[in-house]
Amino acid sequence: MREYLGGASVEQAFDVFSATAPEGWRVELVEGEIYVVPPASGEHEEIVSEVADQVTVRRTDRALRNYTGIGLNVPGASETGHVVPDLVVAPKGSFDDEEEWHDSAPVLMVAEVTSSSTAARDRDKKIRGYARAGIPVYLLIDREEGEVLVHSEPSGDDYATSLKHKLGLTVSLPAPLGFELDTAEF
The predicted-structure confidence for 124-177, as pLDDT tens digits, reads as follows 999 999 999 999 999 999 999 999 999 999 999 999 999 999 999 999 999 999
CA-nearest of 107, 116, 59 to 84 is 107
Mean per-residue pLDDT for 19-30? 86
Output the pTM of the full model.
Answer: 0.88
Cβ contacts of 113 within 8 Å, gap of 6 or more = 40, 44, 47, 48, 51, 86, 141, 143
Q: Euclidean distance between the first and final Cα of the chain, in Å?
A: 39
**Domain annotation for the chain: domains and CATH numbers:** 40-185 (3.90.1570.10)
